[in-house]
Chain A
Amino acid sequence: MKISRGMALILATVMTGSLLITGCSATTKTTSAATTAAVVTTADTTAAGVESTAAESTAAVATDDSLTKVKAAGTLILGLDSAFPPMGFINDKNEIVGFDIDLAREVTSRMGVELKLQPIDWSSNILELNSGNIDCIWNGFSISEERKAEVNFTDAYMQNRQVVIVRGDSGINTLADMAGKTLCLQAGSSASDALASNADFKASLKEVVELSDNVTAFMELEGKTSDAILMDEIVAAYYITQNAKDYKILDESLADEQYGVGFRLADQSLRDEVNNQLKAMAADGTLAEISNTWFGKDVTVIK
């Protein structure tokens, strides 16, 4: 326990009271998120820090202490699902590696802090972020309007597409060829969002199978119980290369999306710092270098 329960409740009341009195002009969502985040960040400060966090919640702009806190702690905690190659996964030496991990290591070394990798359950990612167990979500995290309401994203650093993968001998070459076929995808992923927004295509399919993860999807494709998989192009290319299978990625994609790094809504200064570091890395070529190591070409989009 970092602070007693009673103290935290009193501080929460003070926070809310000061918000009401000063009539903060921020939107309701940001305010309530700031209050929640303020309660969380308060837990880590002593009583003396109350004034600065009170100022943070009334201002609700980039005068928060998220960056100073991370620098003081000397560590940035990165939350990831360590089963998502090639963005973040376990290698054969049992270390957590990945494209996002390399980016994060470079950013944190430039910031002068340590990087701590915290495996989390992906379906609780925003919950872990808001509860303060992690400082950022950096794991092929797609930017979407719904997520923007709950998460403070950096600029997009990588482009991704939701694509359809089929067996090489299936004779399917276009989305139109998929009519009357079975498609599988990972439940709750941005693939299922992409399918939902392509109603015509979805309606043309015989069946849509939701699975717990992408490896199972590949097993379905291999075993011919499904005709196609809908998933991130980046991850698909990894699996196809790794397993040296005769699979084909269709040219037409269902959705274009971008990956960003997610922070708590109130952590503007921390988010800005990481964003600036990524921009600096783009400018001096480090970003392209890391991208080449992993993908053989520069797939980054940050300017």
Chain B
Amino acid sequence: MMNYSIMLSAINYSSMIAFLLDGTVKAVELFFLTIVLSLPLGLLVARLRMVKFKVILLPVKFYLLIMRGTPLILQLMFFMYFPPLVFGIGVDRFMVAVFSFTINYAAYFAEIFRGGIESIPVGQQEAAYVLGLSPFQTFTRITVPQVVKRIIPTIAGESMTLVKDTALASVIGVTELFRNAGSLKATYSSVIPFAVAALFYLVMNSVVSAFFSQIEKKLNYYKG
């Protein structure tokens, strides 16, 4: 029988937590970069989605269909392995993950924004025009504040989904929380790392949830 003198038999909890925290930091970085980049991009796409010109409208609709219609996990693998094989360019794993998450979530945010914007009564735009406000002023001063208030619950939900979706980056080798938990499972022959990882995701999402609750409270200075 082989002698595995280097092998360990019990879980070293402090190491495990440290390793899972490293993964959590990666997940949090991925989350923030994605949110910061995809919200403005989503707003832009929403605006483009509402134009009449087919030249802009059709590509936008195609983009929305592809991004929302194919699995994010496949999109990640596509952006990771396609460029090097076809164009011979080097890609950084983490940047690929940020890019892929951003354009995917921007598509969802775009439709959420569009839904919010289109739910504002057109009468308001007419009233603003009569009062002498420019379209830009109408949009930023009148429409957007109302839209934000309406879509906060949905955005909160999407953000919480994003926190959990960071686990998908493991398929392209990003050493985030889920992958690290998987490595530890092999090290200790135990699923306890996964239980701890689930706890970490829960804590992250509790923070996100509390954050959005606060925003909702702040915006509640009027009903509707």
Contacts and interface: CB of A to CB of B under 8 A. Distances in A.
B182 interface: yes
Contacts, number: 139
Contact of B183 (A82, A132, A293): A82
Interface of B: 1-9, 11-12, 15, 18-19, 22, 77, 80-81, 84-85, 87-91, 93, 170-173, 175, 179-180, 182-187, 189-191
A215 interface: yes
A93 to B, nearest CB: 6
Given A40-B84, A121-B171, A295 B4 contact: yes
Given A12-B88, A241-B2, A243-B189, 4 more contacts: A2-B89, A8-B89, A131-B81, A131-B85
Contact of A132 (B3, B8, B90): B90
Interface of A: 1-3, 5, 8-9, 11-12, 36, 39-40, 42-44, 82-86, 89-94, 97, 118-121, 124, 127-128, 130-133, 213-215, 218-219, 237-239, 241-244, 293-297
A133 B1 CA distance: 38
Contact of A215 (B8, B80, B87, B185): B185
B182 to A, nearest CB: 5
Contacts of A295: 2-4
Contacts of B179: 119
B22 to A, nearest CB: 8
A132 B89 CA distance: 9
A201 B80 CA distance: 40
Contacts of B88: 3, 8, 11-12, 39-40, 42-43, 132
A75 to B, nearest CB: 13
| B2, B12, B171 interface centre (most CB from chain A within 10 Å) | B2
Nearest to B9: A242
Give 9 nearest A-B pairs by CB, closest first.
A296-B3, A131-B84, A83-B186, A43-B88, A92-B12, A39-B88, A8-B88, A94-B19, A120-B173
B81 A127 contact: yes
Nearest to B182: A83
12 contacts: A3-B88, A39-B88, A43-B89, A83-B186, A86-B7, A89-B186, A89-B187, A90-B180, A90-B186, A94-B18, A119-B183, A242-B189
B183 A294 contact: no
A293 B5 CA distance: 7
| B7, B15, B175 interface centre (most CB from chain A within 10 Å) | B7
